[in-house]
Structure formats: structure tokens, C-alpha cells
Amino acid sequence: LPYFVLAFSELGKVGLGKGPGRYQLREVFGLDESGGRQRLYASEKGALLGTPTLLHPGRPQERDCARESLALRFLTPTRIRYQEDLCLDLEFHILIRSLLRRLSSLAYFHCGLDPEGLDFRSWIARAETVGLGRRELRWYDWERYSVRQYARMMLGGFVGEVSFVGELGPFMPMIRLGEWLHAGKGTSFGLGRYEVMEIGFRRNFL
């Protein structure tokens, strides 16, 4: 965290984009798994105020083990390719394919883990049995300027809400990780961010 605070503080002095674009980093907050906020840095203090909470978003949760319904809200444009085309009519297996690619790549390049032992075909086959509940997605065009290419770039994707029904428990650690790591292309620009809205689970009748 100290390196990120220093980097963003110095970046504010240099400036962002075309023109001055300068800013001051005033505060940094950390989030815990329940969404609680902890103040970690304040510019007037000039030092860190605490230690960030270590998150375990992929750790299985008791309620997740028997999930049968799931609703997701996509907050930033999400660019997921399926069969070479950008997808708007999202299905569960398409989302899982994207998450498998992203998570296995991050695990390989940043954690030194070999994804060879991950049975992609089995996961995708199971994901294809999960059905669609409702889908209220729309396309949102987002434009950015590339200083490197000296050109404007269109990075549109879908936003909105979608729900799924089926045996979702095995996929929940992956879904939870995706909340923090995003899905699809352009994640380094903040694209592909989503959150879990509401989830159903089996009732145990005695």
C-alpha cells in the first residue's frame, strides 16, 4: 500500500492526460468483505493510519454452497467476447468462460500457479446447465483518448442486470473473485466491474 500511495501522490503532481490534469491525493480507504470502510491514509497526516484488511473473496462461504439463483449488476461497460464477437446477450457459460481465462492468467503470471490442472471443459459443461432468469442489459459506449496512439478509442460494453438459475454453488468462489478482479477485456481501465445483488439458496425441509 505505501508504494501505491506514493505513486498516486507523485502522479497527481505530474498530471494526467492532456493539459494540467493535476490532483491531490487526500484520503485512502480500505474495504472489508462486508463493505465496511477503514481510513488508511490522510494527506494532512502524511502517513498511513492503519493496515489494510486482507481479503479472501474466493474463500467458500456457507451460504454460497447451496445457491440456486444469482443476480448480478454490471456497473461499468463489460466487454466479453464469445465466438469472436462482443457479447450483449450474456449467458452464464459465457461469463464463466471469461472468468476462467482471467483468473487462470492472473494465477499464472502473478502467483506462479500452473492452470494445466484446471479442467476448463468440465467447468464450461457444468456452466451450460445453468439457465437464464432475466436479462436487462444495454450497450454503453465509453470513449477514451490514447496518448500512446494519439487517437480516440471506443471501448463500449454492456451494463445492467442479469440473473441466473441452477446449481450455482460450485461457481460462487469464482463469481466472488470476479467482483474484485472484474470480467472481460479492458479491466485495467476499470471495465467489467460487477456486484452480486441477490442470491437464492435451497431451503432444508425437515
CATH number at residue 119: 3.30.70.1900
The Cβ-side half-sphere exposure at 155, using a 13 Å CA radius, reads 19
Q: Assess whether 147 and 192 both reside in one domain.
A: yes
Q: Assess whether 136 and 186 both reside in one domain.
A: yes
Quote the pLDDT of residue 19.
72
pLDDT digits (tens, 9 = 90+) for 20-76: 789 999 999 987 766 678 889 998 888 888 887 776 665 656 567 778 999 999 999
Quote the pLDDT of residue 204.
40
**Domain total of the chain:** 2
Q: Assess whether 66 and 143 both reside in one domain.
A: yes
Rounded distance between C-alpha atoms, residue 168 and residue 72, angstroms: 13
| For the chain, percent of residues with pLDDT exceeding 90 | 59
Quote the pLDDT of residue 117.
78
The Cβ-side half-sphere exposure at 158, using a 13 Å CA radius, reads 20
Rounded distance between C-alpha atoms, residue 192 and residue 178, angstroms: 9
For the chain, counts of helices (H) and of strands (E): 4, 11
The DSSP call for residue 54 is P
Could you tell me the maximum CA-CA distance found in the chain, to the nearest angstrom?
A: 68
Q: Assess whether 77 and 16 both reside in one domain.
A: no
Instruction: Please give the residue range of the domain that contains residue 99.
Output: 62-201
More confident residue, 95 or 153: 95
Quote the pLDDT of residue 111.
84
